[in-house]
Structures are given as structure tokens and as C-alpha cells.
């Protein structure tokens, strides 16, 4: 049974005219007529009564309408599913700004070299926003913090140490074994990039019965850095983000390893790996390994 013949039948039913159905299908009127007759021969029934140029749905035709509708809908749903699982020329990635700025800036040229036919779209946002887009099939994969959600897969991809930093002219005098109580007296700017579990930081202060003096919260990395440059604030930031400032001596690290050892974990998050070629998924992981190896050698 030809799906085009069934579709032509439904169009004639809808428009109550072979001429109008032909226009809607961008076909000639004889072609639509031929398809209807072929379907009638296959079903061995008369679907329409002809009265000059008019067509009237027969009783058998009325009985066939719900089945024809179901056949076409099932076909269209199957076609859509196949299209979604075919390899796409455009890869849409959702991530936080830090990962986009540092890891993807390194990775994308390599991915493009290995897969020259691919085009990339980068969407930045919070973990919640990226997860929503992932679930609604707006993106192929996310590079975000771990999420526990049915139907969502997480693979650890990157780890990035989080450093407590301040300007080198900040008045705070660091001690070898600094206490959380002393840090709680300092102004802090919290950089909320959607990839940290700040509960660890809060618990560090809670252990000694104090609260962090968080005067500013921002989701913009450069804003956090500018507050540090005022020489009044300190902040927990991903090492990659402040590597240049630490190397140049503009920023200095406050050693809190005895109090807190926190990492920014980025997971490769997805719903269905079949949306992209297996070789591409493998390349993502290999590039992350190379990226972390380079960073370790530079430290």
C-alpha cells in the first residue's frame, strides 16, 4: 500500500475536491485521480461517488478514514524519529560560560579538523537551563555539572581545581594554617557559574560556627575578577580562569587545602548517543584528556 495514495485520499476527504487537493499537494489533478483509483483497486472498494466534478465520500470511504489517518500519522512519527537519530551536520552544545571559554575554545578547532562537515552551535546557561534544552531535544549534549534525572546520562569529562584568590595588594596577610573564622571576616564575591557545589564552601565556615561574608554574587567571570582587582575582595574561582593572573602575580592564591579541596566537575551529559556519530563522542573524551594533560604540564 502506497503512503502517497493514502495521503491523497485524506486530502480529497479534507478538501471535498480533487482539484483543491491537487493544489494543496502541488500535484496535477490527473495524478491525484490516478492515486485514488489505485487505492480503490487495492482495497477493492469505491471510496468516493463521482458526480461530475464533485466527489462524495462513500460509506466504505467513511469507514476507511480513521485507518488511513492512523497509517499516515504513524508513518510521519516514524519518519521524524529516524530523522532525529540520523547524524546531524550541526552539533548543538549547551554549557556554562567557563567551559565554553576555556575548554571549547581549545576543543572545537580540533573537532572541526577531524569532522570538517560539522557545524557547531554553543548555547551557554545555567545547569537548569541546559538540562531543559537537553530534555526538549534543543541540544545534542551538555557540558554541565552532574544532574540526576531519569533518562539523562552523565559521564565525568573534566575536573578543574577551584582556588581561593585575591589581589596581590589585598591587605589580608596569609598565614600557613589559616582558619575559616579569619576568612569569614573578609569580603567575598561568589562566582556562580552553575558548576560548583557551594555547599562545601558554606560547610567549611559552618564547622567553626561562622558565616562567609558574601557581599556580591555574580554569574559573570570578568565581573568577579574586577571585584578582586579592587583589592578588597577574594573569591573562589576555577584555576583555568585565573591561571594567567596567578602566573603574572596580579592575583595570589590563598592556601585553604587544609580546610577545603574543591574541584569543578564537568560532565558530558546526554539523552541519546545515537544522535551523533560514535567517532565524535570518542573524540570529545580524547580531547578532554589531552586538555587536562596540557594544563597539568603547565602547572
Protein fold of 90-155+266-298: D-Maltodextrin-Binding Protein; domain 2 (3.40.190)
Please indicate whether the domains covering 3-85 and 90-155+266-298 agree at the CATH topology level: no
Grid cell of 185 as nine digits:
571576616
Protein fold of 3-85: Arc Repressor Mutant, subunit A (1.10.10)
Angle at 60 between CA 56 and CA 62, to 5 degrees: 65
Whether the per-residue pLDDT at 287 is higher than 80: the answer is yes
Give every CB contact of residue 41 below 8 A, 6+ residues apart in sequence. Answer: none
Among residues 216, 232, 212, the alpha carbon closest in space to that of 172 is found at 232
Q: pTM for this structure?
A: 0.58
User: Model confidence at 82, in pLDDT bands (50, 70, 90)?
Assistant: low
pLDDT at 245: 92
Residue ranges of alpha helices (H) inside the chain are 3-15, 18-25, 29-43, 59-85, 97-99, 105-114, 127-135, 180-183, 199-206, 221-229, 239-248, 278-298
Whether the per-residue pLDDT at 210 is higher than 60: the answer is yes
Burial class (CB in 10 A: 0-12, 13-18, 19+), 32: buried
pLDDT at 207: 82
Dihedral sign from CA coordinates of 212, 145, 254, 179: positive
pLDDT at 285: 92
Mean per-residue pLDDT over the chain, rounded: 86
Query: Distance between CA 169 and CA 166 in Å, rounded?
Result: 8
Residues forming beta bridges with residue 162, ordered by sequence position: 238
How many CB atoms neighbour CB 123 within 10 A? 15
Mean pLDDT for 68-79 is 85
pLDDT tens per residue, range 124-162: 888 888 999 998 888 999 998 888 888 899 999 988 778
Q: What are phi and psi of 74, to 5 degrees?
A: -65, -40
**Domain range list for the chain:** 3-85, 90-155+266-298, 159-264
Query: Distance between CA 154 and CA 142 in Å, rounded?
Result: 9
pLDDT tens per residue, range 169-188: 999 887 778 888 888 899 99
pLDDT tens per residue, range 96-119: 888 888 899 999 999 999 999 899
Residue that wins the pLDDT comparison between 176 and 270? 270
Grid cell of 69 as nine digits:
489517518
DSSP E strands in 115-232: the ranges are 119-124, 141-144, 153-167, 187-191, 214-218
Protein fold of 159-264: D-Maltodextrin-Binding Protein; domain 2 (3.40.190)
pLDDT at 194: 55
Amino acid at each position: 500500500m502506497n503512503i502517497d495514495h493514502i495521503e491523497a485520499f485524506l486530502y480529497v476527504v479534507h478538501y471535498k475536491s480533487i482539484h483543491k487537493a491537487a493544489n494543496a499537494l502541488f500535484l496535477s489533478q490527473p495524478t491525484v485521480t490516478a492515486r485514488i483509483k489505485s487505492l480503490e483497486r487495492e482495497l477493492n472498494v469505491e471510496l468516493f461517488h463521482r458526480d461530475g466534478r464533485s466527489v462524495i465520500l462513500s460509506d466504505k470511504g467513511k469507514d476507511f478514514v480513521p485507518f488511513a489517518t492512523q497509517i499516515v500519522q504513524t508513518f510521519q512519527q516514524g519518519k521524524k524519529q529516524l530523522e532525529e537519530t540520523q547524524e546531524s551536520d550541526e552539533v548543538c552544545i549547551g554549557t556554562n560560560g567557563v567551559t565554553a571559554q576555556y575548554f571549547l575554545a581549545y576543543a572545537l578547532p580540533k573537532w572541526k579538523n577531524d569532522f570538517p562537515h560539522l557545524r557547531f552551535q554553543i548555547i551557554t546557561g545555567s545547569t537548569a537551563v541546559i538540562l531543559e534544552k537537553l530534555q526538549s531535544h534543543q541540544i545534542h549534549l551538555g557540558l554541565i555539572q552532574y544532574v540526576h534525572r531519569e533518562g539523562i546520562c552523565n559521564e565525568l569529562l573534566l575536573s578543574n581545581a577551584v582556588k581561593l584568590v585575591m589581589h596581590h595588594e589585598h591587605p589580608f596577610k596569609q598565614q600557613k594554617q589559616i582558619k575559616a573564622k579569619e576568612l569569614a571576616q573578609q569580603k567575598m564575591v561568589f562566582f556562580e557559574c552553575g558548576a560548583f557545589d557551594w555547599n562545601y564552601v558554606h560547610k567549611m565556615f559552618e564547622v567553626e560556627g561562622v558565616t562567609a561574608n558574601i557581599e556580591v554574587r555574580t554569574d559573570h567571570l570578568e565581573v568577579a575578577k574586577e571585584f578582586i582587582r579592587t583589592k578588597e575582595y577574594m573569591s573562589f574561582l576555577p584555576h583555568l580562569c585565573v591561571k594567567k593572573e596567578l602566573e603574572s602575580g596580579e592575583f595570589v592564591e590563598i592556601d585553604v587545602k587544609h580546610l577545603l579541596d574543591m574541584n569543578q566537575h564537568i560532565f558530558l551529559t546526554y539523552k541519546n548517543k545515537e544522535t551523533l556519530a560514535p567517532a565524535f563522542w570518542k573524540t570529545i573524551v580524547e580531547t578532554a584528556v589531552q586538555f587536562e594533560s596540557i594544563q597539568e604540564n603547565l602547572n
